[in-house]
């Protein structure tokens, strides 16, 4: 399970918010990769996740991205604990 802290004003960078102004939430990129890259090597998925995290301005660690890539590759569920700050 991963963990990330996001400010309340930037939560739309992580999760899709139809009322939000941010157009590239990480949740959408992760979901797309989960469909398109199941069974692919972890080393191929990590840079794609890094690019999505960078685009969404989220500070996932390499360990978090590797864990997410392993879940995508294997088709396993991935649980992310999100801490929202004021």
Residue 62 domain boundaries: 2-85
DSSP state of 58: -
Could you tell me which of 38, 20, 17 has the C-alpha nearest to residue 28?
Answer: 17
Read off the pTM. Answer: 0.89
H or E segment to which residue 7 belongs: strand 2-7
Count of structural domains within the chain: 1
Q: pLDDT tens across 7-60, in order?
A: 988 889 998 877 766 777 999 999 999 999 999 999 999 999 999 999 999 999
**C-beta separation of 5 from 78 below 8 A:** no
- Stronger pLDDT, 22 or 63, i.e. the higher one: 63
48 phi and psi, to 5 degrees? -70, -40
């Amino acid at each position: 399970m991963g963990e990330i802290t996001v400010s309340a004003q930037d939560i739309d960078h992580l999760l899709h918010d139809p009322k939000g102004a941010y157009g590239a939430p990480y949740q959408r990129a992760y979901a797309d990769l989960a469909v398109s890259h199941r069974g692919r090597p972890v080393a191929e998925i990590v840079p794609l996740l890094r690019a999505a995290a960078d685009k969404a301005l989220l500070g996932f660690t390499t360990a978090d991205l590797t864990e997410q890539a392993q879940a995508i590759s294997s088709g396993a569920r991935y649980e992310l604990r999100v801490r929202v700050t004021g």
